[in-house]
Each structure stands twice: as C-alpha cells, then as structure tokens.
Structure 1
Amino acid sequence: MQIVETIILIISLLIVANIISHYFVSIPASLIQIVAGVIAAMTLNVKIMVNTEWFLLVFIAPILFNDGNRFPKKELWKLKGPIMGNAIILVIVSTVVGGALVKWLVPSLPWATAFTLVAVLSPTDPIAVQSIAKKAKLPDKLMHLISGESLINDASGLICFKYAVAATVTGVFSLRSATLDFFYIAIVGALAGAVMIWIFNGVRLYLINQGVDDSILHAIIQILIPFIIYYIAEDLLHVSGVVAVVIAGILNISSSRTTGAFSPEIRLVSSRTWDMLVYLLNGFVFVLLGIEIPFAMEELIHNDNMNTFKALGFAFVIWVALVVIRFIWSYFYSTFFERSDRTNFNLFSGTRFYYSLMSGISGVRGAVTMVGVLSLPFVTNSGAAFPARTLLLFIASAVIIYSLLGATILIPLITKSSAPITYRGNSINTDEDLDIDDEADDTEVVSTKTELTPNEANKVVLEKTISKLRAENLDNRDMVYTTVIAEYVFNLHNLQLKSNGPDPISKKRIKGKKDAELWDVCFNCELEAVEELYDNKKISEDGYDTAVKKIEKYKKGLVKKRYNQTTEFFIAYFRRTIRELTRFIHLPFVKQEEVIQYNHEAVIASVAGAKRALEKLRELEENDGEMAYDNLLYVFQRHYEERLELLQGKRRNHSEKFNVERINLEVNALSYQRAYVQDLLEQGKISRVTANNLRKNINYSEEVINFDIQ
C-alpha cells in the first residue's frame, strides 16, 4: 500500500508542478518539479528508498529506447565521427580530468568515488535546448550532434559509472579487466539489442500482415519492448542493457508516416503513448531528486568537514570545469578534424569559438544523470556505508540545477532569444484533441442495396482522391504531385490486400494458366527493354546483368512451390534482413559515385521495362484480349502504372521547399477525402457510422502530419 500511496503522491506533485510551469514559462519545468519534491520532503517527511536494479530498468530503458527511436537515422550516420568522439573520448577525458578535480576539491573521497561522481555527470540531456533551437538559431548540426551524442554517452557514461561504483563497493579495480569487460558487454549488448528488436519488428509486422491492427495493442507492445530487452540483456545475458536498448531504439521500426505497414491510428496512438510515458518518467525522476535533496542537506549540516555552501561551491566549480572541458574538446575537434580546407589552416576562428561555446553550454545534465545518482547503493560489500553518498547526491543535483540554469539564462543571452526551454519528457505535443463526431446515429437505416462496406467506401475515396490529384498534375511533370499520388497508390494497394474482393496483382499471385501467361509476356517485354537500353549504351554491363538477373529470378518464381502465408512472410522478412545487412556491410567499401550510378541505372531499367510491358498489355486489350484473360489485363496494367508512379516518387527531391509543398498538398488531399466521404454519405451509399470511421482515419492522418512537422 505504501508503494501505491507514494506513486499517487509523486504523480500529484508532478501535475501541480507542471500546472505551475504553465504560468511561469521562463522557469524550466524540471526546476519546479525539484522544488515540489523538496517541499513534499520537508512538509510531509516523505523518504523513498531506491533499489538500483529496478530503478535503472524502469527509468533508463524506456527513456533511452524512445530517444533512439526518435533520432533521425541519416543524421546519426552522417555525424558518426563527432558523435563517437563526444560520446567516448570526451566522456573518458571528462571522467579522468573531472575525477582528479573532485579528488583535489575533496581529498577525503576515495579515487573510485570521485570518478563515480564525474561518470554519472557524463550523460547529457539534448531535449533541454531543442525547443529554442529554431528561435535561437542554433546550428542544426549542433542540435543533431548533441542528440546523437546523448544516445551513446548515456551508454558509455553509465557503463563507466557502473564500474566506478563496483570499484567503490568491492575495493578492487583492474584497468585491463575493466577495459576488456567494457568492450565485451558493449559489443555483445549491441548485438543482443539488434537481434531482439529484429525479432520484435518481425512479430509486429506479422501481426499487421494477419490483420491484427489494434492500435492500443501495438502501443502496449512498443512500451514493453525496452523493458524486455533490458531485462534479458542484463539478467540473462549479463551484458549492457543500456547499450541494448539504445541500439534497439535506433533499429526499431519508426513511428513516422513513412512506415506504410502501420495505419495512421497505430502510429499516432503509439507516439502519444510514448509522449505520456516519458513525460511521467522524467517528472518522477526530478520529483524524486527534490525529495532526496533535504535529507542530503541535513547530513551535510551535521558534517564537520563539509557544509552546504561549500558543497554548492564545489558543484559550481565542477559544472564550470565540465563546460570548459567540453568547449576545449569541441574547438579542438572542429579545428583539426572538421576542416574543409586542408591547405589554409587557421587556428583561431570566431565561428568555431561561438560553435564550441554553444556546445559547452548545451551539455545539460538531466534525467539520466539523476537516475544514475539515485541508484547509488547505500552500503559496500564489507557492510560499511557507501562513501559520501549524500555528498555525491547533493553535488550531482546541484550540477544538474546549475546546467539547467546555465542553459536557460546563457543560451538566450548569447543568441538574443527569449524562448522557453523544454526538457526531455516535457516536450509533449499539445495539439487539440481530434474533432470527431462521436454522436453518430448508429440506428440510421440505409438501403442495403446501395450501402458500401467500410473497405469499399475507403477504396472509392482513395480512387477519387487519386483522380483529383492527377487532374491537377498537368502533363504529369510536377514531382510533388507525383510523390503524393504514389503514396496514395501505395495505400490503395495495401487496402486491396486486406479486402475480400479480387486479389491485387503480385508476383506471388499465380492462380492459373492465364496469370502465368500474362506474367511471361510482361517479363519478356521487360527483358527486351533492358536489352535495348544496353544495346544503345544507356546502361552499363553491370546494370544490364543486375536487371536481367532480377527479371529471371521473378520468372523462376512463377513455377516455384509456394508456402503458406505465415511461412512466406517470415522467409521474405529474413531475406529482406539479409539484403539490408549485405548493403550495410558493402556500403563503406563502395564509392558514392558508384552507388548513385547503380541506383540510377536500376531506375532507368525498371521504368523502361514497365513502359514496354504496359504497351504490350494495351495492345492485347485493343485486340479483344480482355475477355480472353478474364479481366486480368486491367489488373496487370494497374500494377505497372503503380510501379511507374512509385519509381517516380523515389526520384523526388528532398529539399526544404519540396517538403513544404508536399505537406501542403497532403493536407489538401485529406480535405478532398473529407469532401468525398460527405458526398457518399449524402448519396446514401454509406452509413453515418462508416462516414465517422472514415473521417476518424482522415483526422488521424492529419494529426500524424502535424506531429511530424513539430
């Protein structure tokens, strides 16, 4: 009962603190949460004993998994050099230099304890400055660097922290053993996280493939993933659960709208559920911090060798030292490793100085640091009290507060911006609730002769929207329209897969002799087109061989024995994984120019093959072949038309202007869908319940677009 009462109390304090923060926007919500915890500890005499293992499991796993899932993967790979430098080398340098400084400031502390304090201060909280990034005009590269760095240094810092705590508790430390163990638990932990998230991704995709698309169910599965992965890695495999959840988050199927396998409702519900969870966890951590501070201060007051003001001074010196170390490292790395002009070397640069200064101040400490310091054990293996535990807790808390205040005050001053700062877990989307008419008249009677099923109505709406967009796309040359149309065609294709009507076209759709005959005709046309391109020297020999092998592979598949749906799904999933791994392994050894040339030739060959096959299909149709093929010609034509649209979509430009225009067009397309739903309702072709369900999906899609923009 005490645990339940404690949870209710903390949630209540969190709610009150965040309500207050809406009236004092210039004060970070995290500081108000800390104050709420302090008041609760002083007035209600609340004291909470924290268990290290479950605390790391409950707080670390979901927070880091969510950070990895939300981080843009392209930027993570693009900035891998500076990110790894900041996350590993900077952490080591900070731990060594900072540990020596702490030992100098407090000589009575054991060396292992001094390093423990600095190691737990290594992880940074990137969300602390993201909300002011645009108004403050912080460089995008710096924001991506801080975010990517936090993923890795959370792992490296906490591993160092774990070893420092172990050395303090046991009194034994071997640098060689620690180094070997570090690489072992990190590498195996990364592999374990990758394998487990691959399994979870496969299960989730299989559920969708089987029609299990309950949005609440998928959200719960996503929430459970980091806890299961962390538990298996730590308790069963005895490797780093932190590294495992970070890698799992990075490789997790993204919740963005580019993941076509999941409906907009699933993606939106999952995103909002994660927002709520991280919001609560982050608030819990800072309220707990506030609850612990008075007890730490009480012990300091009774300590003859250390008082509160002296500890505050030490914490300020440590924070300044961490900022300076970070500044020096950033300036050093940008000067010697990121120079675009290798001939004209300039040691002093105002631009680099400004960038490095912002990098130093932006290294805010937050939730992960608090999770670590609150998980410090109370006793060592010998039964003695953990050395200066309350002092470490107080100094770490003070450094977090200094870093929060430093970012809050200094960043707006330097960038001449006054926007408030949002911290990890406090950046929850605050859009208004969906405007859905829940008062539908379920008893409305519509003629069963004309009423469409939900799938049929959705198909009609999508087809009308596609026709409307095509009519607006004059001469079929606007790449923005082509891209959006391709997305709608893809959605229509997925809808046809789930419908009870005729099967959509697929290379696995071989139900009779006529299907096989048409496929054979189409593949022969594609081969002729590829050979013509090669004869005219429009593609290279390698491009020709690749295209021919691909077509021959599909031709062989026409007569290959098929398995049941479940077996085919997992075979395809496994093959896709092998292809991705092969591409990832070969990519560093392939020149960028060769990759671009290969992709360009592949698109040319596929487009030419699709056009040649379409010409043949239309020729057969004109020669009264439609009846001979039982209306299959239309289905095959739609398949190749979709391929052309998808290929044109793949060649789209990803400039900022293009993305803005695409989003605007997507919003317009959703308004077309609403209009077509209303038309079907007024014509009596769908019930009010069906209309509301269709509107709900449209609203979900619009919410996903708005969520991605923010």
Structure 2
Amino acid sequence: MEILESIILILSLLIIANIVSHYFVSIPPSLLQIAAGVLAALFMHVKIYVDTEWFLLAFIAPILFNDGNNFPKRELWKLKGPILGNAIILVIISTLVGGVFVKFLIPSLPWATAFTLVAVLSPTDPIAVQSIAKKAHIPDKLMHLISGESLINDASGLICFKYGVAATVTGMFSLKSATIDFFHISIVGALVGAIMIWIFNGIRLYLINQGVDDSILHAIIQIIIPFIIYYVAEDIFDVSGVVAVVIAGILNISSNHNMSAFTPEIRLITSRTWDLVVYVLNGIVFVLLGIEIPFAMEELVHNDNINTFWATILAFAIWVMLVVIRFAWSYVYSTFSNNPDGKIKLWSKTRLYDCLMSGISGVRGAVTMVGVLSLPMTIKGGDPFPSRTLLLFVASAVIIFSLLGATILIPLMTKSSAPVAYRGNTFSSDDSDDSDDEEEESAPVELTQIEANRVILDKTVKKLRNEMDEGDTAVYSSVIAEYLNDIRNLSFRNNNSNVVSHQISKRRVKSKKDAELWDICFNCELDAIDELYENHEISDDSYDLATRKIAKYKKEIVHRRYNTTIEFFISYFRRTFLQIKRWIYRSVKYNDVQQMNQDSIKISIAGAKKALEKLQELDQSDQEDIDDNLIYIFQRHYEDRLELLQGKYRGRSPEFNSERMALEVKALSYQRAFVQDMLEQGRVSKVTANELRKNINYSEEVINIGVE
C-alpha cells in the first residue's frame, strides 16, 4: 500500500508541475518538477528510498533505449568522433583533473573520494537542455552532440564512479584491472545489447509474418525490451546494462525506416505509447531528485563539522570547474579536428562561442543523483564513508547550479526571447528550425493560417530529412518531394498510387511457371552482364559477384522449397549476414565499395532492360504455357526496379505504399506536435490551430481510406 501511495503522490506532483509549466513558460519543466519534489519533501515530509539498481532498471534503461532509438543515425555517425571523445575521454579527463581540483579545495578529503565525486558528476543529462533548446536556438549540431554523448557517458561515468567507490571502501586500486574491466563490461555489454535486440527484432518480424499484427501487443513488446535487455546484461552476464540498452536502441528495428512489414497502426501506437512512457519517466526522475535534495541538505546543516555556506561555495566552484574543463576540451578538440585544408587556426571567435555554449550545456541530472545516493554508509573496517554527507550535498547543488546556469546563460548567449515550450511531445533539438528562418529567431508573432502552414511544412521536411538513412531514400524522397510541392502550392492533395495486388520475389517461388519465367529473366540478366563485361564497363570483381548471385538464385529456384517459417528465418539470417558484411567491407574498403556500387547499378539497369525486352516479346507471342497476368506482374517488377535505379520510382508495390503511408502518418503526427508548439509559443491563435489540425485530420483520413 505504501508503494502505491508513493506512486500516486509522485504522479500527482508531476501533473501539477507540468500544469504550472504551461503558465511559467520561461522556466524549464525539469526545474518545476524538482521544485515540486522539494516542496513535497519540506512540507509533506515525503521521503522515498532510491535503490540504485531498480532506479537504473526502471528509469534509466527505458529512457536511454528510447533516446538511442530516436537519435538520428546519420548524425550519430557523422559526430562519432566528438561523441566518443566527450563520452569517454572527456569523462576520464574530468575525473582526473577535477579530482585534483577537489582535493585542492578540500585537503581533508581522501584522493579516492575526490575522484569518486567528480566521476559521478561527469555524466551529462540532455533532458533539461532539450527543453531549454526550445527557448534558445541551440545549434542542431550541438544538441546532437549533447544527446549523443549522453547515450554513452552514463556508462563511462558510472564505471569510473564504481572504481572510485571501491578504492575508497577497500583502500586499493589497480589501474590495469580497472582498464581491462572497463573495456570488458563495455564491449561485452554492447554485444549483449546487439544480439538481444537482433533476437527481439526477429521475433517481432516473425509475428508480423505469421499475421499477428495486434498493435497493442507489439507496443507492449517494444516497451518491455529495454527492461529485459538491461536485466540480462547486468544480472546474467555481469556487464554494463546501460551500454547494452543504448546499443539495442540504436539497432532497434523501429529506428530503421525501412519497416514496410509493420502497419501504420502498429508504428503509430508504439510511438505514442513510448511518448507517454518517456514523458512520465522523465518527470518522475526529476520529482524524485527534488525529494532527495532537502534530505541531503538537512544532513549537512546538522553536521557541525561542515559549514553549509562554504559547502555551497564549493559546489559552485566545482560546477564552474566542470564547465571550464568541458569548454577547454571542446575548444582543443575542435581546433585540431576541423581542419580540412590542414591549417590549424588557434583562435576563432565563433569556435570560442560554440565551445562556451557546449560547456554550459553540460547539465547534470538523474544519473548523477542516483549514483551519489548509492554511496555506501561505511568502508572496510566499519568506519563511516569519508564525507558522505558533503558529497551528497555537493552533487545535489551542482545539479541545481548546472540547471540554473543553462536556463539563464544559454538564452542570453543566443539572444533569443522565445518562450520555452512544454515537453508534451518527443521533439528536441532536431525539431528546431533552420537558422535562416527569421520568424523563428524573433519575438513570437501571431501568424496567419497560410504562414503557419508554411512554417509547419518546412519543419516537417527538415525532420524527415534528418531521419532519412543512407540507402533508404526512395520512400523519404517521395514524401519529401510531395511536401515541397505542398509548400509551393500551400494546399493538401490526395496522391494515391496504383497498388499492384500481387508481389513477386526471386526468393519466394510459388509455382513451376514462376520458376520458368524467373529462369528466362535470369538468363537475360546474365546476357546483359556478359555484354557489359565484354565492353569493359564493369570490373572483374563486379562481374564475378553478379554472376555468382544470379547462379545462386537459379539454384534456389530449382532445389529449395521451404515453408513460411523456415523461409522467414533463412531470410532473416541472410539479411543480417549481408548487413554485417556490408558494414565491415564499407569500413575497410570504402573506395572499392563505391566502385562496386556503381557497377551494381549498371548491371541492374542493363539486366532490367534486357528482361523487359524478353517479357515484351513473350507478351506479344501466342505462348499458352505462360500466363499473361504472370508476365504482366514480372514486367511491373522490372519496371519498378528500373524506375528506382533511374530516380523515377513512383512506388507501385504494396511494400512501398505501406512504407509510404506509414511515413505519411508519422509526418502528420509531427505536424500536430508542431501546431501545439506554435500554439504554446503564442505564434498562432486557437482558431488558426484548430484549422490546421482539421486539415491534418483530413489528410490522415485520406490515407486511411487508401489503406482500406
């Protein structure tokens, strides 16, 4: 009963704080949630014991999984250098340099304890910064960097913290053992996360393959995934569960936009369920943080050996130190890494400005608090943990200083007066507008319906472009092109494509006639390959690869017949193997891959043309052994392939249209969120917002009619 009462109380505080945030839009909701927790602790004497293990499992695991799932993969890859640098090297530097600084400020503090304090302060928390980003126009690159490093530095910071605590408790520390253990629990944790999400992805796809398309069931499976992965990584393999859920989120099939197997309903309901879960979990984390802060301060106030005012000054100095270290690291890294012409420019006002903003944006939050709360009460021999009360107070105060510093300083640095939008949607930095949109950088001005519609469409196009993955641009390009046309015309229109009711596959041969026609087409493709090779238009490797692939298909058509289950798993294993092989080969031999891709396009185009010529010949003949409808289906297959390769693809296959409709539904959900943002910022009236929503609803109904 006590647990139930605590849950109801925390949720009530969260609701109240978020309601208040609608009236005090200049204050980030995270600060109001902390304030709600503080007031509950002071006046209602609420005290909740926070256990590190269950807190990480119940809150950090799903939040980080969702962050990894939604993080733009292209940006993650482009910023891999600075993200890994900030998440690992900066954490280590902060721990070492900061530990020396803390030891200088507090000479009585043991070295191991000083390093422990700074280690737990190293992980950044982007949740509050994301809400501040609504008020201040933080550059997209910086927000991507902050969000990306937070996916990893929670693990690195907690590992450093773990060894700092162990050294304090036991009085022993081995750099060699710590380094080996660090790489072991990180690498194995990543492998556990990758393997388990691969299994879960296979299960979800298999359920769809078997016709199990219950959207609620799939949403529940998606929600339970991070909890299971974290538990298995931590309790069975004894590795980092944080790293495991982050990697799982990045590799989750829901973050891959080539998801034609899932219906729009499944994707939409899953997305909305995650919105609700993350909204609640994020809020609870900060409410709990607020509840813990007064008790940390109370212990310090009643401690005669520590001056409260001096402890507050120490906390402020440590926060400034962390900002300076982060700023210095960012400036040095950017100075020596961004030199395409090979010239090093030591001074840059713009770089100085950006690095200073990066330093201030390193807000501390939930992971820091739960880490410091897990400090043991005693060390080896039964003595009290050195200065545990002081560490708890300093960590709490640094969190507050970092939140207040970012809230006050970042808007001043960006010279923006737009209000902070509430966090009722899933958008963060990637949703911020282009810097050349003048209306975005000025004070809120109420827009007309046409102007607001233009802004919403622009933002939707930018969001879709940020999500577009390499190698999967056909669906996104089609939808984006339509939106660009809508921006020009400022009107929504129906664009239903003709859907082919039958779909063929060279790996799913259902009849003897299918096999015969495939054999004819494959022979045509082989003839085209031979012609290209004889004319020296493709390389030897490309020729060998293409002929082996077609020979493999021909062999499978003749010899292999599987039931749907065996066929699914063989296909799933094959795709996984090819993806790993492609990734490794691309990483090692980029130029060779580029040449192979160009040759592959030539081969595919020539093969499709040759096959179409033969199919046209068969269609005009009087052969009765091949069905005209089957020839027509094969013609559509090769025409679609040719259009796709030539950039003229209009998507006549059910898979393409299913993917397109899912993306259109997703884009409409973005538009709804953008309308709500503009309404909260005072940029549109309620009447205009209702008209915009009505148009969006109408567009969605058109899509639903197309599905039916």
State the distance in 2 between where 1:37 and 1:479 align: 46
Letter aligned with residue 173 of structure 1:
F
Which residue is equivalent to 1:9? 9
State the distance in 1 between where 2:281 and 2:144 align: 23
State the distance in 2 between where 1:370 and 1:625 align: 77
Letter aligned with residue 356 of structure 1:
C
Contact 1:279/1:426 (<8 A) preserved: yes
State which of 588, 602, 605 in structure 2 corresponds to 1:604: 602
CA positional deviation for 1:385: 4.1
CA positional deviation for 1:60: 1.7
Q: Which is further off, 249-258 or 292-301?
A: 249-258
- CA RMSD of superposed structures (Å): 3.3
State the distance in 2 between where 1:373 and 1:696 align: 51
Which residue is equivalent to 1:107? 107
Q: Which is further off, 541-550 or 279-288?
A: 541-550
Which residue is equivalent to 1:590? 589
CA positional deviation for 1:669: 12
Distance 1:345 1:50, change over 3 A: closer
Which residue is equivalent to 1:266? 266
CA positional deviation for 1:525: 1.3
Which residue is equivalent to 2:443? none
Contact 1:285/1:370 (<8 A) preserved: no
Which residue is equivalent to 1:644? 642
Contact 2:124/2:362 (<8 A) preserved: yes
State the distance in 2 between where 1:570 and 1:511 align: 18
Contact 2:268/2:666 (<8 A) preserved: no
CA positional deviation for 1:30: 1.1
Mark the runs of 5 or more structure 2 residues left unpaired by the alignment.
429-475, 484-494, 651-659, 669-696
Letter aligned with residue 288 of structure 1:
L
Which residue is equivalent to 2:82? 82
State the distance in 2 between where 1:229 and 1:18 align: 31
Mark the runs of 5 or more structure 1 residues left unpaired by the alignment.
431-477, 497-502, 653-661, 671-691, 703-710
SS of alignment partner, residue 22 of structure 2: helix
Letter aligned with residue 278 of structure 2:
V
SS of alignment partner, residue 23 of structure 1: coil
State the distance in 2 between where 1:506 and 1:482 align: 28
**Where do residues 157-172 of structure 1 align in structure 2 (5 Å cutoff)?**
157-172=157-172
Post-superposition Cα deviations, 1:452-494, rounded to whole Å, max 9, x if no partner, equal: xxxxxxxxxxxxxxxxxxxxxxxxxx97589889xx999956x
Contact 2:52/2:370 (<8 A) preserved: no
CA positional deviation for 1:348: 1.4
1:348 and 2:347 are equivalent in the alignment: yes
State the distance in 1 between where 2:391 and 2:354 align: 31
Aligned residues: 611
Which residue is equivalent to 2:564? 565
**Where do residues 60-75 of structure 1 align in structure 2 (5 Å cutoff)?**
60-75=60-75
Q: Which is further off, 409-418 or 18-27?
A: 409-418
Which residue is equivalent to 1:143? 143
Post-superposition Cα deviations, 1:541-578, rounded to whole Å, max 9, x if no partner, equal: 33222222222221111112222211121111112111
Contact 2:28/2:132 (<8 A) preserved: no
Post-superposition Cα deviations, 1:384-434, rounded to whole Å, max 9, x if no partner, equal: 5443333322222221121112111111111111234579x765469xxxx
Identity within the alignment, %: 70
SS of alignment partner, residue 254 of structure 2: coil
**Where do residues 191-270 of structure 1 align in structure 2 (5 Å cutoff)?**
191-255=191-255, 257-270=257-270
CA positional deviation for 1:127: 4.0
Which residue is equivalent to 2:404? 405
Which residue is equivalent to 1:440? none
Q: Which is further off, 626-635 or 576-585?
A: 626-635
Letter aligned with residue 406 of structure 2:
A
Letter aligned with residue 36 of structure 1:
A
CA positional deviation for 1:382: 4.5
Which residue is equivalent to 1:153? 153
State the distance in 1 between where 2:480 and 2:640 align: 11
CA positional deviation for 1:125: 2.1
Post-superposition Cα deviations, 1:265-304, rounded to whole Å, max 9, x if no partner, equal: 2222222222221222221121112111222222212122
State the distance in 2 between where 1:168 and 1:550 align: 61
Contact 2:132/2:407 (<8 A) preserved: no
Which residue is equivalent to 2:703? 698
**Where do residues 237-386 of structure 1 align in structure 2 (5 Å cutoff)?**
237-255=237-255, 257-342=257-342, 344-380=343-379, 382-386=381-385
SS of alignment partner, residue 558 of structure 2: coil
Q: Which is further off, 537-546 or 132-141?
A: 132-141
TM-score scaled by length of structure 1: 0.79
Which residue is equivalent to 1:436? none
Which residue is equivalent to 2:472? none
TM-score scaled by length of structure 2: 0.80
Contact 1:65/1:226 (<8 A) preserved: yes
Which residue is equivalent to 1:55? 55
State the distance in 2 between where 1:178 and 1:532 align: 60
Letter aligned with residue 238 of structure 1:
D
1:577 and 2:576 are equivalent in the alignment: yes
Post-superposition Cα deviations, 1:516-557, rounded to whole Å, max 9, x if no partner, equal: 221111111111222222333333333222222222221111
State the distance in 2 between where 1:553 and 1:560 align: 11
Letter aligned with residue 266 of structure 1:
I
SS of alignment partner, residue 26 of structure 1: coil
Post-superposition Cα deviations, 1:95-114, rounded to whole Å, max 9, x if no partner, equal: 11112222222333332222
CA positional deviation for 1:232: 0.9
State the distance in 2 between where 1:186 and 1:70 align: 22
Letter aligned with residue 277 of structure 1:
V
Contact 1:190/1:247 (<8 A) preserved: yes
Distance 1:213 1:492, change over 3 A: farther
